[in-house]
Amino acid sequence: MITVKTKQNFQPMHSTRSLRIKNTAIGWSFIALATVLICLFYFYPMVQALIMSMQSGTGTNLTFVGLDNYARLLQDPTFLTTVKNTVIYLIIQVPIMIILALFISVLLNDKTLKLKGVFRTAIFLPCVTSLVAYSVIFKYLFGQEGIINIFLLKLSIISEPIQWLTDPFWAKMAIIVAITWRWTGYNMIFYLSALQNIDHSIYEAAKIDGASPFQIFFKITIPLLKPIILFTSITSTIGTLQLFDEVMNITQGGPGNATMTISQYIYNLSFKYTPDFGYAATVSYAIVIMIVIFSIIQFKVAGDKNA
């Protein structure tokens, strides 16, 4: 064993025991307020929600019903539809967005590329818009006589306007396109800064060894970016599972319930229909469980080595 000189050896002489206790108290006081507030506004409500999820009734008249709400969950067609919708958004949108963001950031990482700043700023710009504002804009862009249909018709890609917001399939696509527009630039920035940290000589060496750009991308870039890809896919997953603002403002969940998300269902159960807070809390635990499951899957897929 090699003994390593630690900083403790250089501690000032007066660090007696009483001072250390005093310092400990001061240290705790620095973190006390934040800790109390997080417990009060995150953990305490979660406990409350757990209790509520075993109660039922309208408004504030709740009675204990055990696991009935959870049984009801599995037979509730609206809930199952919202889960299906949310999972569709997740498995289509998150991979498309991540691949697109990766691809753009690799193109932008080219040292000889001109106008790099212009491209980067333009692609990142959607991130400054509020979710509500961009949703309303997209609602009109996707309208029956909206600019997107006008474009597609003029370019003769389609022969009659697509029912973006009133057809169950196209409405989901509209939501997916909108979210991808808003968040691709955001993820791109993460990849770009990670790419800039990769030592350029690795690429030079690979080129000398005769690796194709394709091989370089899959054998060097992707493995080196694995931790950050994992990070962005988990944050995107958590974000998508909570999707609310966009759907609320683009389609309001319609047509029928074709685009409704779990978050929106919780909102409707609590504030739009006759309030059933107990059951709403049960549904919200479904999101928590899904977040945990999807995060575990992503960790497993990425392999625990670099994660």
Give dist(CA 235, CA 247) in Å, integer. Answer: 19
Q: Is 37 in the site for other proteins (CB under 8 A)?
A: yes
Tokens describing residue 39: 């417990």
Q: Give the footprint of other proteins on residues 191-230 (CB under 8 A).
A: 193, 213, 228
When binding is defined by CB under 8 A, the residue of 80, 91, 99, 133 that contacts other proteins is 133
Q: Is 160 in the site for other proteins (CB under 8 A)?
A: no
When binding is defined by CB under 8 A, the residue of 83, 97, 102, 123 that contacts other proteins is 123
CB 142 within 8 A of CB 251: no
CB-based contacts of 180: which residues, under 8 Å, 6+ apart? 93, 96, 97, 100
Would you say 203 or 231 has its CB closer to other proteins? 231
Containing H/E element for 87?
helix 77-108
CB 229 within 8 A of CB 98: yes
When binding is defined by CB under 8 A, the residue of 4, 8, 9, 12 that contacts other proteins is 12
Would you say 12 or 77 has its CB closer to other proteins? 12
CB of 78 to other proteins, least distance (A): 15
CB of 252 to other proteins, least distance (A): 7
Q: Give the footprint of other proteins on residues 268-297 (CB under 8 A).
A: 270-271, 277, 280-281, 284-285, 287-288, 291-292, 295
Give dist(CA 275, CA 136) in Å, integer. Answer: 27
Q: Give the footprint of other proteins on residues 48-67 (CB under 8 A).
A: 48-49, 52, 60
Give dist(CA 232, CA 106) in Å, integer. Answer: 16
